Amino acid sequence: MAALPYIVGNWKMNGTRAMLNEARAIDRSAARFPKVQVGVAPPATLLYRVREAVEYIGVGGQDCHARDNGAFTGDVSAPMLKDAGADFTIVGHSERREYHSESDADVKAKAEAALSAGLAVILCVGETESQRDAGDAEAVVGSQLEGSSPRVDGAPEKLSVAYEPVWAIGTGRVPSVEDVAAMHKSIRAKLVAIYGSAGADVRILYGGSVKAENASELLGIADVGGALVGGASLTAESFLAIVGAAASLGD
């Protein structure tokens, strides 16, 4: 049985308590779409409050430290996220890789820490514009998967991969349907190479300027099992339009 499409909102460094109203609205409406799995990743300061405010949707972190505790000022560990009510965490987002210089080994350690804490993991991979223009996109993403994918028992069952072409994030630019299809096919092959037959069931999300206007087309591509949504997830109206697009594909 195929997994439900997975639509996740990454709020990034946005949101104060006023955003709880959006979380409640997303939760109430998402309950109308039982054929879609929905989650939001608020900033850490809101995670516990969002968990208390919602009943239906999943709630996750945007990152976690690879260690459970210690002298790491400002960081948040996977057990802390779990204790605050998180179901999952994102690791390896391109903004973490770029602005915090996170290596594949760093991302792998975080993913394994999250799994050990009982969290599901959304592992992000993606190429820059210069890497795509050089014809290296699939090789770059394959290398990221090889170096970042967790290698612990049961990992593929709690793992999703989010393909986010770095040059499309927040720019309004979107790869062609053919480009997305080719990359997701390549990712699928790499997951099977890493995990064997279990890799065939890992959901591969698309992330990169997903919005209501293009959601149906993107979600209809083979091997696209959902979406990691940035700016369009900050309001219930725009985010739920994407959830609705995912639900309509099963009609």
CA distance 202 to 162: 10
- With 90 as the cut, is the pLDDT of residue 175 above it? no
Per-residue pLDDT tens for 35-91?
Answer: 999 999 999 999 999 999 999 999 999 999 999 999 999 999 999 999 999 999 999
CA distance 247 to 12: 25
- Active-site residue, selected from the candidate residues 93, 95, 102, 138: 93
**What are the DSSP calls for 149-174, one per residue?**
S--STTGGGGEEEEE--GGGTTTS--
Q: Please compute the mean of the pLDDT values over residues 187-195 and round it to a whole number.
A: 98
Closest CA to 162 of 128, 121, 199: 121
163-202 per-residue burial string, b: 16 or more CB within 10 A, e: under 16: bbbbbbbeeeebbeeeebebbbebbbebbbebbeeebebb
Q: Please compute the mean of the pLDDT values over residues 167-174 and round it to a whole number.
A: 80
- With 60 as the cut, is the pLDDT of residue 26 above it? yes
204 pairs with which residues across the strands? Answer: 161
Q: Is 184 a catalytic residue?
A: no
Check residue 251 and give its pLDDT: 63
Q: Is 164 a catalytic residue?
A: yes
CA distance 240 to 130: 33
CA distance 100 to 96: 5
Per-residue pLDDT tens for 103-144?
Answer: 999 999 999 999 999 999 999 999 999 999 999 999 999 999
Per-residue pLDDT tens for 207-250?
Answer: 988 999 999 999 999 999 999 999 999 999 999 999 999 999 87
Q: Which residues contact 39 (CB under 8 A, 6 or more apart)?
A: 6, 7, 8, 9, 57, 58, 59, 60, 87, 88
Check residue 1 and give its pLDDT: 46
- With 80 as the cut, is the pLDDT of residue 2 above it? no
Hunting for tokens 């480009």 — which residue is that?
179
- Active-site residue, selected from the candidate residues 112, 127, 164, 184: 164
199 CB-side CA count, 13 A: 18
